[in-house]
Amino acid sequence: MALPTAPGSPLPAEARGRGRRKRLVWTPSQRDALRASFERNPYPGMATREQLAQAIGVPEPRVQIWFQNERSRRLRQHRRESRPWPGPRGPPEGRRKRTAVTQSQTAVLLRAFERERFPDFATREELARETGLPESRIQIWFQNRRARHPGRAGRGPAAVS
DNA sequence: AGACTAACGTAATCAATGT
DNA sequence: ACATTGATTACGTTAGTCT
């Protein structure tokens, strides 16, 4: 069934073959620290992620991605063994503080979005430099933007109001 | 060559902020 | 109250690493 795009189906053609961030390779001690933290809480808040990131010397967004992937692995394993997943333990930890994107920053991102809806890593870094926003926030900005402003390739300027 | 997994995508949803 | 939009989740795909 060719459903266009379910939660994680085949990637849209434009998104394929794009330059990704260079894949990092964890050292054994970094893995240990990540696993230990995961055992304490599989849903770490910003403070925990930041602290862990500092401790193992890696950017916080990489830690966040690791937890996302690790939860996927565990969830699947638990499902496969028909074992219940013991959801979040303890009170939910605090999220990242909402980033305030200024009008001028939005303008830059909007212009980039018109040119390319799937910017590669180099482009995202360039935008990060231009706007002063972290690259990880730019990636999220594009994800949200794509979800809320469906492609309509080459459509008019979209009467915004 | 195949297993493993970081990076990255969508869809749905939570939540902060402004009107 | 409601609209807008940043942040997080589940889960599937893509592509680099390692055996």
Handedness of CA A69, A74, A77, A78 (dihedral sign): negative
Nucleotide of closest approach to A44 (CA, C1'): C8
| Mean pLDDT for all residues in chain A | 89
Q: How sure is the predictor about A13, in pLDDT bands with cuts at 50, 70 and 90? A: confident
pLDDT number for residue A127: 98
Lowest mean pLDDT among A42-51, A116-125, A145-154: A145-154
DSSP assignments along A33-100, one per residue: HHHHHHHH-SS--HHHHHHHHHHHTS-HHHHHHHHHHHHHHHHHHHHHTT-------SSPPPPPPPP-
Closest nt to residue A7, judged CA to C1': B10
Q: What is the pTM of this model?
A: 0.90
**Gap from A25 CA to B5 C1', Å:** 10
**Confidence class for position A99, pLDDT limits 50, 70, 90:** very high
Query: How many Å does it take to go from CA A75 to C1' B11?
Result: 19
Q: How far apart are the two ends of chain A, measured CA to CA in Å?
A: 37
Residue lying closest to nucleotide C13, CA to C1': A10
Nucleotides of chain B in contact with protein CB (under 7 A) are 5-13, 15-17
% of chain A at pLDDT higher than 70 = 86
pLDDT of residue A152 exceeding 80: no
| Section A73-96 average pLDDT | 91
Per-residue flag: A10 CB under 7 A of strand C: yes
pLDDT of A3 reads 37
Q: Is residue A159 pLDDT above 60, yes or no? A: no
Q: Which residue is nearest to nucleotide C8 (CA to C1')?
A: A95
What whole-number distance in Å separates Cα of residue A115 and Cα of residue A122? Answer: 15
Q: What is the pLDDT of residue A6?
A: 56
d(CA A94, CA A46): 6
Q: What is the mean pLDDT of residues A34-56?
A: 98
Sign of torsion over alpha carbons A80, A62, A28, A52: negative
- How many angstroms separate the CA atoms of A83 and A75, rounded? 9
pLDDT-derived band at A27, boundaries 50, 70, 90: very high
As a rounded value in angstroms, the CA-to-C1' distance for A4 and B14 is 25
